[in-house]
Structure 1
């Protein structure tokens, strides 16, 4: 057994024992305020709700009568609000009903808003929805183990003081349950947090799993009282599902990734940011969004709203220093590209995720560490030093055998910080002498890292552009001093620093990396306080000797607004005085009809702005071409674009019953023969044939879709040629259980691969195949095995993992949910190696008795031979899970007989 230490070695350690929480009723705290807190607990049927509390364990003089909410039979939720409390004060309390009373517990109220007199600490632990226990007979869930480990470590770091004397709040970034039903809220989330929930308040966030079985989040709203809290009077318009709260001088912004780009939520984030900027009682802002800012596995399965909208708004204030995400079940940490802001994936202990599982992985330069471990984090704010620090502790690895899994014993795997008011690194320089043309390979060298502080070098940012304005890039890469990506594989699965031994003050241009021509380059340094230096002075370099030079042109978008000028970026041109870019209509041959607009370029690279001046017609396609030296020789592939309005599509709903007609409203359309097209999910417009097509002649209207087969679809407006998407897509589904799923056979010997064929899926990044035991229900029954299908609408998927002997069904589920989108296919797995339970031979009668246990859906054929060459069927016995007990004649001749049993579907 071994444990991992960053930049260190593996050491041997035995897993710490698990003690578990004491028995008895243990309440749950949430919504901590300087003057109040909510207390809740579950019972089977009790009708009374009381909380006795006071500032002394021996004098619980105040009693509050709370309320009860009957969710279902045996699911009674009791809650009470303790009010008129004093800030930063310890209170003792017990909860009771007519039949049960708890032990006496202690908690500490939140510090006064804006308080900077005391340090602040928060436990970050989330995405712990797994129901699975670690081994047979185990009474602890993964989440329960992770929570106990976190509490044990935090107490050990602080002299084993009670946890409520150390931690101010526990922050959870979503997927507190696997399925949002009563059973999992009570017996998973509340139960597994019981070691700490009676002493420190927990604040949750909506994840995708909370919505399964509770799509409107009605249950979630009934459990928590987040609608009562806000920062600065800016309430979350959707009540409990997204909210903000201030503790001391820290504002936590809990967003809802499941509604994402909702305009109301976006405005709420902007309102909070605008107020934070000038609020002297707020120094730190932490945002929480279940779907993360970035991910190096399951590429694209992030919150685009968070990345492109929410974080840029929040980063308008440097008080925002941390975004906490989840959804991916590994730990990850990175830095936002241009701001002193960190983003993490907390790690949790949910469904197994490991390197190589997703089939699509990438090393992004805004992620510094991705580590396949179940982890939690401790956020500490040192008020005197104006320093926020996050330390991450690894506990377990899903790839290790169950008896070795929890070997890390709270091993520190990451530590990062943000200190206010600290100067950044000094400006670097490029120290190469580029006075003469350079032939690659070439190494770009930075000056040594320099700083007037004690901060060390974290990153070097290299930019190489063909323009001195750095409007387009040949190289735009951030290189960190350490970059944990991947692992060593079996047996230890050690995280790998792929930058170990790399001198990040050097950047190597390999042979032919840049085409011939002149380039501009600059660098900057980032320290471990996430602060950038100024850019270095710009240097120029001429590259020669490359095998080929390939001029290129590009445009930021294939849709240019009506009346706007056209900007075309060009690179790797020959640099002739009269190289030029022209715009033509489709079908025109340069050198025949005159160009609609043209302009000479300046040098081998840059941006050409072609002034429209009313020369381009709205609602038409054009193409841009790059020509050599006042001639008509085209040096680069053409770029097609559309000039005109961007149409807007809208649907009344996203889900329709089979047989319904679907109305797609369109507006802002140029009346020019553009066409609205309907595709099945997974199709590529311009390549695949549309299901339906209609040429548009009006600026607005409704497209009625009638007679559609059930399926997943999207509509989009295309240019008249059908090659350019000029609107955003709108997607919908028609019917249920749309996808089809099949297996080549219904029985598999144990250990054999199982290949499934599916079609007409919704093509979401985390669509998955799930295997359940026959008769179980997804979301509540045990998930035997899952396999992501890599965002494909159809194809084959092979299950290579071990499926135990038994009877099962398989179905296709969409977008990491428990929504079944295909038919169920039943199959069985039987023992591969057959074994007789009994064989008895009676020499006098010449008969043999054979007994064996059968597997359902398997046929057993008894065969007989006298020479081991020729076999004759004796009889066939269909398997039903019971025993076969037969007697057969051993020999019909004066010779030995041989028997064998053959299994088949």
Structure 2
């Protein structure tokens, strides 16, 4: 190892050498139970399947015959379940067929369910889908290297003990492969896991890449036996697709983000929560969902089902303390805003992701760290102390040169813990709220952090409201003692703590951040055990001298079912005694007609509830009016009173020329019918003109769309009097390779920027452009370069990449998959610098002989000038990759002429 150098707080060393797994047949363990385990391995075409095992390496005195699944003539998958085992016991084993016998390996069975002594440990390593090796000459894949680094570090931390003595299980949160082909399963996931897979069981989760080229997960179901396992008798309704299992006093819940809001999966999560919350054999619950809870890059590319449905259910018990996600190829850690639960992204070492790549990025206050390193995590539960702790170790950065990017050598970049039952921090107080009128800026000052435990301060939450009940908030901000967001850029790309040096016990209300008026403020403290203190006593203060004037009204929803009351939040009102809020039909002119319902407000902020008098199937708006008059002081808020129709199609993808049938149910039947409107993907229904419309004259039925052009579309229901959307959209496509992709030219100099344009894309957050060499196929051949396109349906994308000389094609792919959604555009890259080897005029003629080294398919043009300023074309040639020779006429009237060769 080379000498250490210090850059900031990071210490780098020369990359550790890659050793790799020993050769020979190396089996794969999964589904570890106290009394059983599954053993699997691959051969090309062997028939027999045997496992010899015992509790002594010298006495493998039991043999089990297993099964063989022939995926094809050269891919045989052998599987055996060892049963009747003793919990928490070491077993030795070997696997064999008629042609090959493995070395002898050792594993340890899972501890008894409910076991609560010693320690439970797990390795978390996610999103490892890269199949191609990093660069020419590298003897390893990224995932293989990351796994070796993790095992090396864990063994060094525990006295160089065998890995099966250190960890109980390996958790993988999805995208174990790039595409769900046999090639990727066998030669990526199983092959690159072989360093550890004979000794420690691996438990996988379904990610989006598992479904590519295997949409029904048929291969996944053949490889794994998750349908056999359950917690508390609760099997996932979709078998291997999602499942739960208990190890010691932990329950692991592997959900499927690709089916997300599936009602059966949601009910299963609810049933699991009801079971574990009162189960005395369970103290800790960890959920795994491939698409994450939150993300500060590629905004919105998360699991809405996890965030809005599953997590609130799981978090009803504080036994659930950790959610593990992936999908983004980074590390991130945050806390749920109101509850003592963590969420992380374990992005492994997959496709490059870095700051500035995604176009849209945001610093969210429920994320404390986003670090663009290839990393892995170590979970340890100490049963004696009741402490669960996770440590993250960084290994490499994708923007460093390939030869030197693995220089972190298991640097600890995060550590967090949870101890259930530990006391929360003491209640803080605001110490400097003015008792009289104040002007902005104004600093809110918290009392010092205080606790009866040894925990330190992690966060302060500040809230400011116009209401003493805090039902409306003008400020709601969580500030953490550290906030890693962004990096230092070239050359080191070190993570940056943007809260470094910040006193988080202070928060400044900026000039003109609030209008004049009376406000209420409160704070609370969170410790590093993610416990919140009680809220401080609220303090009121008066702001004067502000030029901010922005009265607002808001509604919690857009569609109100029949019989529902309408609750309106208002803030920053004028403060007159007779300010009021009213409901009008869309198109009504306040003052010209009476309101449908109205109420005076009280003060500058609060709520009013308006009930009765509304007609089903009608669009209304809420207005905020000043001093018993009709002067509106806030932007109107529209809403619909009635039912929200449910829209479905039988499938997403349709062939060109095929009819698309949109089914609807639950629609209101009204005199002036609501409508279904058809739009192209990426359109805004509030402003775009619909392509086609359909009147909803029945409560249920269908709309047949015939003769649609190739494209990505969606249909929504909109209110009869305007553009207000009153349903969720239903999306579908017509045709294949729908998007139209083009380049400004098809021949580029080496090092020249390439500008691509496309129209009619699917507008998904992770649509991307990929460059492959001519003749290579996506998902099989090497991906030369890629760039995400910001989730737009139409875009111009600069591709800055120093491509080697050669022939390539560019294509648009959808949603982080290998599904091609555009035409392929072929292009070539040629040498930026070249010269003519010879240029000779034949004696007595006006002909010149010339020779020069060419690139295949490149267009060359010989030009002439008499003044080195104005050039005319003389002859054109197409290169064939060799040194070309040509003869051309150089007849000229000029006394002196100049010649040059250019590339067009």
- TM bucket (normalised to shorter chain) is over 0.9
Equivalent pair of 1:562/1:644 in contact (CA under 8 Å) = yes
| Separation in 2, partners of 1:891, 1:736 | 53
- Offset, 1:611: 2.3
The answer as to whether partners of 1:650 and 1:730 remain within 8 angstroms in 2 is: yes
SS at match of 2:32: strand
Tell me how far apart the structure 2 counterparts of residues 662 and 842 of structure 1 sit (CA, whole Å).
69
Which residue of 2 is the match for residue 883 of structure 1? 883
Deviation, structure 1 residue 505: 0.5
Work out whether residues 301 and 766 of structure 2, in 8 Å CA contact, stay in contact via their aligned partners in 1: yes
Write out per-residue CA displacement over residues 332-383 of structure 1, whole angstroms, 9 at most, x where no aligned residue. 0000111110000012000000000000000000000000100000000000
Contact 1:32 1:38 in 2 (8 A): yes
Q: In 2, are the aligned partners of 1:5 and 1:412 still within 8 Å (CA)?
A: no
1:525 equivalent in structure 2: 525
Cα distance in 2 for residues equivalent to 1:655 and 1:693: 21
Name 1:652's counterpart in structure 2: 650
- SS of aligned partner of 1:783: coil
**What CA RMSD, in Å, does the superposition of the two structures yield over aligned residues?**
2.3
Kindly indicate whether residue 725 of structure 2 is the aligned counterpart of residue 725 of structure 1. yes
Task: Classify 1:518/1:872 alpha carbon distance in 2 versus 1 (closer, same or farther; 3 Å).
Answer: closer
2:633 counterpart residue number: 635
Correspondence for 1:621 among 619, 626, 629: 619
Cα distance change, pair 593–61 in 1 and its aligned pair in 2 (3 A): same
Indicate how the Cα distance of structure 1 residues 82 and 507 shifts in structure 2: closer, same or farther if over 3 A, else same: same
What does 1:354-365 correspond to in 2, within 5 Å? Answer: 354-365=354-365
Query: 1:37 and 2:22 equivalent?
Result: no
Taking a change above 3 Å as real, the CA distance of residues 92 and 391 of structure 1, as seen in their structure-2 partners, is same
Residue by residue over 1:99-124, the C-alpha shift from the partner in whole angstroms, topping out at 9 and shown as x without a partner, is: 11111111111111110122100000
**Does structure 1 conserve the Cα–Cα contact (< 8 Å) formed by 2:520 and 2:540?**
yes
Residues 370 and 484 in structure 2, CA contact (< 8 A), matched pair in contact too: yes
Q: Is the Cα–Cα contact under 8 Å of residues 563 and 618 in structure 1 kept in the other structure?
A: no
Deviation at 1:176, TM superposition (A): 0.6
Distance in structure 2 (CA, Å) of the matches to 1:452 and 1:291: 38
CA contact (8 A) 1:5 1:413 kept: no
Call closer, same or farther: CA 1:226–1:842 in 2, change over 3 Å: same
- Contact 1:524 / 1:534 at 8 angstroms: preserved in 2? yes
- Does structure 1 retain, via aligned residues, the 8 Å contact 2:874–2:890? no
Q: How does 1:16-27 map to 2 (within 5 A)?
A: 16-27=16-27
Other-structure match for 1:238: 238
Q: In the aligned structure 2, how far is the partner of 1:833 from the partner of 1:488?
A: 34
For 2:843 and 2:828, how far apart are their aligned partners in 1? 41
Which residue of structure 2 lines up, in the alignment, with residue 740 of structure 1?
740
Alignment of structure 1 residues 89-128 onto 2, 5 Å: 89-128=89-128
What SS does the corresponding residue of 1:354 show, helix, strand or coil?
coil
Answer yes or no: is the 8 Å Cα contact 1:596–1:616 preserved in 2. yes
Shift of 1:82: 1.1
Aligned mates of 1:280, 1:148 — CA distance in 2 = 37
Report the equivalent of 2:564: 564
Unaligned runs of 5+ residues in structure 1 are none
CA distance in 2, matches of 1:263, 1:173: 22
User: Residue in 2 aligned with 1:411?
Assistant: 411
Between the aligned partners of 1:764 and 1:897, the Cα distance in structure 2 is: 56
CA contact (8 A) 1:394 1:413 kept: yes
User: Per the alignment, in what secondary structure is the counterpart of residue 715 of structure 1?
Assistant: strand
**In 2, distance between residues paired with 1:750 and 1:420?**
59
Spell out the pairing of 1:661-740 with structure 2 (5 A cutoff): 661-672=659-670, 673-740=673-740
Assess if the C-alpha contact under 8 Å between 1:675 and 1:722 holds in 2: no
Q: Deviations over 1:124-144 (max 9, x none)?
A: 001011123222111101111
Please say if 1:249 is aligned against 2:243.
Answer: no
> Which residue of structure 2 lines up, in the alignment, with residue 51 of structure 1?
51
**Deviation of the 1:83 alpha carbon:** 1.1
Q: TM-score, normalised by structure 1?
A: 0.96
Q: Name whichever of 888-897 and 15-24 sits farther off.
A: 888-897
Q: Deviations over 1:483-519 (max 9, x none)?
A: 0000010011110000001010111001001111111
Shift in CA distance, 248/512, structure 1 to aligned 2, threshold 3 Å:
same
Distance in 2, Cα, partners of 1:32 & 1:12: 38
Paired residues of 2:772 and 2:809 also in contact (CA < 8 A): yes
Cα deviation digits, residues 243-296 of structure 1 (max 9, x gap): 111111111100111111000011111111110011111110000000000000
Separation in 1, partners of 2:874, 2:546? 76
Deviation of residue 235 (structure 1)? 0.7
Larger mean Cα displacement after TM superposition, 217-226 or 619-628: 619-628
**CA deviation digits over 1:766-789, x for unaligned, max 9?**
111111111111111111111111
Alignment of 1:752-831 (within 5 A): 752-831=752-831
How far does residue 670 in structure 1 lie from its aligned partner after superposition? 1.7
Q: Which residue of structure 2 lines up, in the alignment, with residue 339 of structure 1?
A: 339
Give, in whole Å, the separation in 1 of the partners of 2:810 and 2:893. 50
Gap regions ≥5 residues in structure 2: none
Cα offsets for 1:136-161 (capped at 9, x unmatched): 11110111110000000000000000
Please say if residues 3 and 10 of structure 1, whose CA atoms lie closer than 8 Å, have aligned partners that are also in contact: no
Residues in 1 aligned to 2:472 and 2:839: alpha-carbon distance in whole angstroms: 83
Aligned equivalents of 1:243 and 1:4: distance in 2? 47
Compute the displacement of 1:744 (Å): 1.8
Does the C-alpha gap of structure 1 residues 667 and 848 become closer, same or farther in structure 2, counting only changes over 3 Å? closer
